[in-house]
Every structure is written in structure tokens, then in C-alpha cells.
Structure 1
Amino acid sequence: MIAFQTLLSIILELCLFSLAEASPISTQNHGNAWRYGAGGGVVGFIVLILDIIVFIEVLQSNRPVVHKVLWCLLVFLFPIGGMIIYWLFSNRAAHNRGGGYEAIA
């Protein structure tokens, strides 16, 4: 449990560090400042939202903790590729908690 908390705190620190380092580039000679920056604009925002959905789905699944951490690391280190790999190869239906309604007999 302590190793998981340590790993989780390291991941959180990396997230905060990446946010602190994502400062916009100088736009002195550019006409449209919305297209430039470290975040990727609208496409980057869409990828961020999809990655957050993947994180929530992984953390709410009934996978072992090690598998959850590995999936989250894959998506964190490779946002687009990791998300695609997760959606294609993670066997999501088998690890779903089944948090829906049950049929009345």
C-alpha cells in the first residue's frame, strides 16, 4: 500500500511539473496567438479530456492495482498512443464493474 501511495505521489508531482513547464511560446511575430503554445490548442484539449476519461475508467475498473498503474502510466507518458492502445487492447468489457441497473426478475 505504501509503494502504491509513493508511486501515486510521484505521478502527481510529474503532472504538476508538466503543467508548470507548459508555458506558452513567444508570439511576437505571429498573427494568431491562439494557434501557438505548448498545449496544442483545441486538439490538445480534446486529447486531455479523452485521457481523463481513460484515467477514470481505469481507476473504476476491477483490475489489479498494478495493472491500473501500468495503464495510467502508459496513457500519461504517451497521451495519444496510450489512449488508442487502451481503447483497442484493454478488454474493457471484462473489467467493467457493471455499475448499471439490474433487471427485475
Structure 2
Amino acid sequence: MMLASSCRRFYADGSLAPWGVLLAILDIWALVNIFGKPWDLSKKLIWAAIVFFFPFGGLILYYLFGRNSS
């Protein structure tokens, strides 16, 4: 889902754009970081859903609000 969503992450020939690869790596990093936190499962699933379904915006929201919350 993360690789197929968002606009212009792919070139016309179907290859992945360089910033698309970077965004996918950052999204995967955020998901690994989320599930490594000592939060309850519901909070982890909410943040994971936000990052998964909104790759760019969810990453920004997680960086601003979720990364340092307890």
C-alpha cells in the first residue's frame, strides 16, 4: 500500500522515483519505531494506520507529535 499510494512516486515506465524510495524507507523506519515503543497496542495500531495509509502526512504527524509522546 505504501509503495503504490501517493502521487508521482512512480515514473511513467513504472520504475520507482528516488524520493519514493526515500519515503518508503522513512515510512518503514517509522513503523519499526512505532512498534518498538512501550505503548499499549491500540496506540501503536492507530499510529501505524496513520503512517501506513497517509505515507507523507502520517510521517510528518508522527515526527511532530508521536515520536516523543509517552
Query: What runs of 5+ residues in structure 2 fail to find an aligned partner?
Result: 5-9
Q: How far apart in 2 are the matches of 1:46 and 1:71?
A: 20
* TM-score, normalization by structure 1: 0.53
- What stretches of structure 1 of length at least 5 have no aligned partner? 1-14, 23-33, 96-105
Aligned residue-pair number: 65
CA RMSD, 1 decimal: 2.5
Letter in 2 for 1:80: F
| Residue equivalent to 2:23 | 47
Distance 1:42 1:67, change over 3 A: same
Residue pairs, 1:1-105, within 5 angstroms:
15=1, 22=4, 35-36=11-12, 40-92=16-68, 94-95=69-70
Moved >2 Å (runs of 4+): 34-40
Work out the CA distance in 1 between the residues paired with 2:15 and 2:64. 25
* SS of the residue 1:70 aligns to: helix
Higher Rg: 1
3-state SS in 2 of match to 1:36: coil
Distance 1:91 1:51 in 2: 13
